[in-house]
């Protein structure tokens, strides 16, 4: 099938195809037509496209192909260049552009919105929003450092020293975590907040401090994430409590990065004018939601607004595009992965399988019909009625009298097998111990009792150690050392000097192993925390 890649708008950097993606498309059996100069901003020469197997064409030919790949939302003029029945794959923002959907239907086009990919595990390779947000989060920190006018990291020199900058990130999604990682790598002291308390561990794993929301907010945290994996709009009282926290943290920060966005709706207001004016002179606010209305009262999309007190509010809407080559590589790869799914036979024939939940979700228009919004796709880990164990819902049986969900029946079976295995092993160990006691001379029987008690107490002591203090491997070795340690302690006072000497050596070696194991594990975990 003929695939066209037209020129992007001047302010758009991501290119819908790179030489690497062209090679993959050709391997799927497609013919790729690239408009001349399409990769100029990403510094990709036309010759690279030609060598990858693409044909260089003009704009009309690129828009006139069977399938058109684009990174921007096409204008009415560009839609007019497409043939009836063609397929458009691009970022369309269908939730906020109902007029565009009507134009697509009127033109007889099949349209796939790649910015509507559901957050399913198998769809991660097609998730345009996540791949671009990752770059945008990094670029946000770079822009913050440029406008702040000082290093983010602290320094100690012969002439004096200065403390590291304080960075506060609101929202610990893909963009927020990328920003946290970038700021930490530059030496800043980073704090982060999110409406989802479960992301605290992710924030802390990046080396930042997690700032929880007020208690009232925590109680409703389960409602803050929709079942499609995206955050939902907060209630008015929750937003007010959160706003007070944001203002308090912003007043102590040198850089504030806001990332809050709700799909299909205006970005929530997080920082009002008063909160921004309460920040330190020279501070910087990077509003990553400027393109959907902004998270601050002073945000102007595409511009930098400086208050009278000297606080800069940066409203750039093209943060990912400011890394043109990298954003193009990721975006084009997302499209290739989607086309790979839609080309099952790898023969250049695209199959629009609307029974596939990924394809159905991104398809917003087909056969003269608007298909937006799609059926809901649940990706939440929260249990629902449909997720309850089959045993708790009697009467729901499959065709052959078994539970319809095989996993629900298999899990109890696996647990039963594991329980039976433990019982059999316990009985076998008991029988073996009894046999050893019977065939062992009476004088040595007491040693078996010491061994049994050492095993029980050793495992009990080590198993009660906090799991965060040791790795699984180290926990096993420490348990074995615990057995040796307790057994040796019981024998160190033996009348036989040889046994006492051996017991003393065992105590020393086991102690070294236990404490050394904890020291090594602590060092390893500290390396990960530094990120």
**Mapping DSSP to helix (H, G, I), strand (E, B) and coil, where does residue 324 land?**
helix
Inter-residue long-range contacts of 156-163, CB under 8 Å, 24+ positions, other chains counted: none
Q: Tell me which of 9, 27, 75, 124 is the catalytic residue.
A: 124
Cα distance between residue 523 and residue 507, in whole Å: 24
Reported residue count of the chain is 531
| Cα-to-chain-centroid distance, residue 7 | 31
| Closest by Cα among 176, 196, 318, 145 to 258 | 176
Q: What distance in Å separates the CA atoms of residue 274 and residue 297, rounded to the nearest whole number? A: 9
Return the structure tokens found at 109: 């086009």
- HSE value, Cβ hemisphere, 13 Å, CA-based, for 380: 20
In this structure, are residues 162 and 153 in contact, taking their beta carbons and an 8 Å threshold?
Answer: no
233 is catalytic: no
Is residue 387 flagged as an active site residue?
A: no
The catalytic position among 50, 119, 280, 360 is: 119
Question: Among 20, 185, 228, 230, which one carries the catalytic annotation?
Answer: 230
Task: Write the CA distances from 55 to 32, 33, 473, integer angstroms.
Answer: 6, 5, 56
Cα dihedral 189, 194, 198, 201 in deg (nearest 10):
-10
Catalytic entry in 90, 127, 166, 328 = 127
Active-site choice (21, 130, 217, 490): 130
Q: What is the phi/psi pair of residue 154, to 5°? A: -80, 160
130 belongs to the catalytic site? yes
Residues carrying an active site annotation: 119, 124, 127, 130, 230
């Amino acid at each position: 099938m003929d695939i066209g890649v037209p020129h992007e708008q001047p302010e758009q950097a991501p290119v819908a195809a790179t030489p690497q993606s062209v090679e993959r498309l050709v391997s799927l059996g497609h013919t790729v037509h690239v408009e001349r100069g399409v990769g100029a901003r990403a510094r990709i020469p036309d010759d690279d496209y030609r060598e990858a197997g693409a044909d260089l064409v003009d704009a009309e030919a690129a828009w006139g192909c069977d399938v058109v790949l684009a990174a921007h939302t096409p204008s009415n003029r560009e839609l007019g260049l497409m043939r009836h029945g063609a397929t458009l794959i691009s970022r369309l923002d269908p939730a906020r552009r109902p007029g565009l959907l009507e134009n697509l239907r009127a033109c007889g086009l099949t349209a796939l919105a790649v910015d509507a990919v559901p957050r399913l595990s198998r769809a991660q390779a097609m998730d345009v929003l996540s791949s671009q947000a990752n770059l945008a989060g990094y670029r946000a920190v770079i822009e913050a450092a440029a406008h702040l006018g000082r290093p983010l990291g602290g320094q100690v020199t012969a002439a004096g020293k200065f403390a590291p900058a304080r960075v506060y990130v609101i929202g610990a999604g893909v963009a927020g975590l990328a920003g946290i990682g970038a700021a930490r790598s530059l030496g800043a002291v980073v704090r982060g907040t999110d409406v989802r308390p479960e992301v605290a561990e992710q924030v802390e794993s990046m080396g930042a401090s997690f700032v929880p929301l007020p208690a009232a907010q925590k109680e409703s945290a389960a409602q803050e994430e929709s079942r499609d994996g995206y955050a939902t709009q907060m209630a008015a009282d929750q937003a007010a409590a959160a706003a007070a926290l944001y203002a308090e943290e912003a007043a102590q920060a040198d850089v504030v990065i806001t990332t809050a966005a709700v799909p299909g709706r205006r970005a929530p207001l997080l920082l009002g004018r008063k909160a921004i004016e309460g920040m330190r002179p020279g501070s910087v606010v990077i509003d990553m939601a400027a393109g959907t209305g902004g998270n601050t009262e002073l945000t102007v999309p595409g511009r930098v607004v400086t208050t009278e007190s000297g606080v800069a509010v940066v409203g750039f809407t093209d943060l990912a595009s400011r890394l043109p080559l990298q954003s193009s590589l990721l975006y084009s790869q997302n499209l290739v992965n989607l086309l790979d799914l839609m080309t099952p036979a790898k023969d250049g024939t695209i199959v629009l399988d609307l029974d596939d939940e990924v394809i159905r979700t991104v398809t917003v228009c087909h056969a003269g019909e608007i298909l937006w919004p799609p059926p809901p796709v649940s990706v939440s880990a929260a249990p629902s009625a449909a997720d309850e164990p089959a045993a708790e819902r009697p009467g729901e049986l499959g065709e052959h009298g078994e539970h319809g969900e095989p996993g629900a029946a298999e899990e109890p079976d696996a647990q039963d097998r594991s329980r039976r295995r433990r019982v059999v092993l316990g009985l076998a160990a008991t029988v073996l111990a009894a046999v050893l006691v019977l065939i062992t001379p009476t004088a040595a029987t007491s040693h078996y009792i010491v061994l049994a008690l050492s095993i029980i107490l050793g495992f009990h002591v080590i198993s009660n150690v906090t799991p965060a203090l040791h790795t699984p491997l180290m926990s096993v070795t420490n348990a074995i050392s615990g057995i040796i340690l307790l057994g040796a302690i019981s024998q160190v006072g033996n009348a036989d000097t040889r046994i006492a000497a051996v017991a003393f050596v065992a105590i020393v070696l086991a102690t070294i192993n236990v404490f050394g194991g904890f020291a090594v594990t602590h060092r390893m975990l500290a390396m990960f925390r530094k990120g």
